[in-house]
Amino acid sequence: MSEKKAKRLLQRNEVPEELTWDLTKVFKSDEEFEKEYQAVKDEVQNFRKLQGTMDQGSQRFLQIIENFLSINRKFEKVYVYASMKNDQDTTNAKYQGYNEMVDALAAEFSESISWFEPELLELDEDKLKQYFVEKKELKRKYFIMS
């Protein structure tokens, strides 16, 4: 009877690079991630200041929509990077920290946009239609309104 040799799980630094994620397509470096993380955090804080202003004209409405979508895209990018860096090696304290940072940012982000949908739904329908007449890019970029 032959003895089977027990397989050993490779450490992260032992895995051939071609078998790993190329996260440089998301951020070139951790420093780039950290810079973008801080920018998103600042934008999340600033978005709160727009609360209560959606009915202040088509330009403000467009600004709010663009900010909302921009923050969403940027947040998703930092979230994916931190999450995947942590998943690469769950014993790495630095990337555990990144993951915790974006989890906290997710809660902050959710809180800062909590006013958006209710305020959008409260907009007078005629006013909303007028915004689309005044700002053609709303229809072209974001919505289809009849």
Give the global pTM: 0.82
Q: What pLDDT, in 10s, does the model give residues 68-77?
A: 999 999 999 9
138, 65 in Cβ contact below 8 A?
yes
Confidence at residue 7, expressed as pLDDT on a 0 to 100 scale? 80
DSSP code, position 15 = S
Cα distance between residue 105 and residue 81, in whole Å: 14
φ and ψ at residue 57, rounded to 5 degrees: 110, 165
Cα distance between residue 74 and residue 31, in whole Å: 16
Q: Which two tokens stand for residue 103?
A: 């989890």
Cα distance between residue 16 and residue 30, in whole Å: 21
Q: Which two tokens stand for residue 52?
A: 């209560």
61, 131 in Cβ contact below 8 A?
yes
Confidence at residue 14, expressed as pLDDT on a 0 to 100 scale? 75
Confidence at residue 144, expressed as pLDDT on a 0 to 100 scale? 56
